[in-house]
Structure 1
Amino acid sequence: MFERLRAEGQIVHYFPNPGNAGDALIMLAAVRLFSKYRVPYVIEKTLVGFNPAGKVVVYGGGGNLGSESSPAAEFLTHCNSKSSLSVLLPHTVTGCEQLLRSLGPGTVLYCREVPSYQHVVAHAGGCEIALAEDLALQLDAEEILTRSPPFSVAGRLLRRLFSDLANRPGRQALLPKGPTVSYFKDELLRTRTLYRGDCLICMRSDHERTPTPVPYGNWDLPARIPFAYEDVRSAEWACHTLLTRVKHYREVRTNRLHVTIAAALLGKSVRMYANSYYKNRAVFEFSLRHRFPCVQWEDS
């Protein structure tokens, strides 16, 4: 997909997918692949005021295309039939049938597992469709860990504080919402202990959580790591922080896809569980089962 972008001979306008530290892994993989394939790019922060006419536009991978009002859907609607090429990097896709039918031949959708691919094939209009693995699987985890983190502890805490101050009506937050005091507590206590131990339990606490009770000692790690999605240095820090935390454990039990991927890249023993819909199992079957023997699927 990146060779094709290079062949276009234009600057790529890249819209990262907003989210948590898992999305930071995807963003860092994307910008490194842009560099590897010598694709010139600029990171765009918002669709407001952006004119896609004649441009090559790319939306970051992830699981964001699940409703017509999602940022990924807004991107496709805004750029459809206007840009010279619109690309959705490897994504999980659910619903959005009306949007899919409207997409023309200038749009390319990459699906990161088979059920999404089948869904898009069944409902898409004239767009191109392809299967591709989640971009985070392209990262070299050990190489990331050898680099010094781009922010000091004090610096990232101040970034979080200023983010919360900026997070008010009419103002775009730089980092995900969340109580600053809680983040200070996590950072100061958990950084001191480094949370070394035998097993990291990381179950989702957001809208993709399952009805299964969260076990004692759960640490929903990606949700606790600030990530400014328009900032490459922030993505580097979020990835370094996530990988550093995971590296201290022998075993990881999680229903977070990108915690699974981070742990697998580090060679950890992983027990992977379902999230609230098919995404985790589908990515496991398509990308993880045969490549990472250290990752085992758990049905309950």
Structure 2
Amino acid sequence: MTMLHEPTARPAGNLRGEAPFQDLHEVVRDRVGDGTFHFYPSPGNWGDSLINRGSREFFQHLGLTCTEHERSDLDTLDPETTAGTTAVVGGGGGWNRNWISTVAFTERVASMYRDVVVLPSSYDLDLLPETGLENAVLFSRAELSGTEKASGSPLRFCHDMAFFCELPEAPDRTLPYPLIALRRDKERHHLAVDPDRNFDISLLGTAHTDAGGFFDIVGRFEELYTDRLHVAIAGAMLGKSVFLLEGNYGKSEGVFRGSLAAHYPNVQLLDWDEFAPMKVVGMQPIGVPGYQGEASHA
């Protein structure tokens, strides 16, 4: 079957050897030394499990020792213990108008711990507290603009932690039709469409679900259409032909510009007005030959 676009050059896998991860390492090491720290993994859907897996592999790869805690553990931890300890807060999208909980959580962590490192996240700069995070280092997974750098932004760039994941072996065979994985939550773009065969795999698990299954599903396809950032990241690292669409606050474009565009020529950033009229080549569920499926507006 002929796909809409043939995949371009294969990627180099993960981005473990890139300089931004070295910068992150130095920041964490400066604060932890030879001691231990407390790690608060990201909450969320199955895509967030790639962030947590990459974070744990990052700590292990660099010989860093941590104790993991759920966010609710803050109510029971001894303040005398946390006051001399570093906290590392998992990255993600909890700093924007859709999901704002990480802002208040990090403020509370900063008031209890000696210092805090927030792993690469997507930020709405208007939501950053003016005070209360003086002992925190915030990493952004969107590369900073020249204006932000000149204005003394509190953010430092690093790739999303999912890019640190060790990759599984490729499956023996792949399916002859594309994966359409479009989100069904409040982060959807206002122009988002709801095509047939949409399979929002991120809702099949949580941030605590093993990321191996996520990679396994994505690895079964050669072509992906998605506005789920970690479907795109997994597909990029596995060498798939990825068409990434935007949600409603710029997260996808930020990571595309900061990481995907330079390292993964197999990924394209697609506008919704380009995707909506497409006839995405696919197959009906069982035993029916390929057909041209119309995309319809939600």
Q: What do residues 243-291 of structure 1 show as CA deviations (whole Å, max 9, x unaligned)?
A: 1111111100001100000001110001111111211111111110120
Shift of 1:85: 1.4
Shift of 1:17: 1.2
1:1-300 aligned at under 5 Å gives the runs 1-7=24-30, 8-9=32-33, 10-45=35-70, 46=72, 47-50=74-77, 51=79, 52-66=82-96, 70-95=100-125, 97=127, 99-114=128-143, 128-142=154-168, 196-211=175-190, 212-228=192-208, 234=209, 237=210, 239-300=211-272
Q: Is the 8 A contact 1:253 1:272 kept in 2?
A: yes
Shift of 1:12: 1.1
Moved more, 282-291 or 4-13: 4-13
Paired residues, what number?
240
Distance across 2 between alignment mates of 1:65 and 1:117: 21
Q: 1:255 to 1:67 in 2, by over 3 A?
A: closer
Match of 2:94, SS state, is strand
Which amino acid in 1 is paired with 2:167?
A
Match of 2:256, SS state, is helix
Distance across 1 between alignment mates of 2:49 and 2:206: 10
Which amino acid in 2 is paired with 1:2?
H
Shift of 1:115: 6.0
The equivalent residue for 1:163 is: none
Distance across 1 between alignment mates of 2:145 and 2:76: 31
Which amino acid in 2 is paired with 1:6?
R
Which amino acid in 1 is paired with 2:156?
A
Q: What do residues 10-60 of structure 1 show as CA deviations (whole Å, max 9, x unaligned)?
A: 311001110011110000111111111111101111222233312100100
Shift of 1:200: 0.3
Distance across 1 between alignment mates of 2:139 and 2:159: 9
Q: What is the aligned-residue RMSD (CA, Å)? A: 2.7
Q: Is the 8 A contact 1:14 1:59 kept in 2?
A: yes
Match of 1:93, SS state, is coil
Which amino acid in 1 is paired with 2:69?
E
In structure 1, runs of 5+ residues without a counterpart are 147-193, 229-233
Match of 1:65, SS state, is coil
Q: Is the 8 A contact 1:20 1:227 kept in 2?
A: yes
So what's the TM-score if we normalise by structure 2? 0.73
Larger radius of gyration, structure 1 or 2? 2
Moved more, 6-15 or 214-223: 6-15
Which amino acid in 2 is paired with 1:108?
V
Match of 2:119, SS state, is strand
- Identical pairs, percent: 28
Shift of 1:86: 0.5
The equivalent residue for 2:3 is: none
Which amino acid in 1 is paired with 2:96?
G
Moved more, 275-284 or 260-269: 275-284
Q: What do residues 66-115 of structure 1 show as CA deviations (whole Å, max 9, x unaligned)?
A: 25983321232112254221011001011554x53113442100011136
Q: Is the 8 A contact 2:144 2:157 kept in 1?
A: no
Which amino acid in 1 is paired with 2:129?
L
So what's the TM-score if we normalise by structure 1? 0.72
Distance across 2 between alignment mates of 1:257 and 1:79: 27
Shift of 1:227: 4.0
Relative contact order, CA 8 A, sep 6+: which one is greater? 2
Shift of 1:118: 6.3
Shift of 1:123: 8.9
Match of 2:138, SS state, is strand
